[in-house]
Amino acid sequence: IRKLANQKLDTSRTIMQQKNKLLVEKVIFQAQLEYRILQKYENAWPVRDLLAQYLCNSSQLEKKATSNLEVHNAINDFV
């Protein structure tokens, strides 16, 4: 799921912030094709939960990295 998310989605955005909702559904469908056991769950809830958590974590990491870079640049500008 992580591999699909990295390839197809904007990992700086949460699942709810993704601009292309159809692409999110395609990623979920693709994950179900690759891992057939996931097809038995109603509304693909395990895939949605894992994808939502991964995107939440990756977006927070990116925001933190951006914030740290801005602080670093501000310090360099000051010095």
At 58, the pLDDT band (50, 70, 90 cuts) reads: very high
Q: Is the pTM of this model over 0.85?
A: no
- Report which of residues 16 and 78 the model is more confident about: 16
Q: Find the DSSP H helices in 1-79.
A: 2-8, 21-34, 45-78
Residues 49-75 have a mean pLDDT of: 82
| Cα–Cα nearest to 43, from 2, 51, 55 | 51
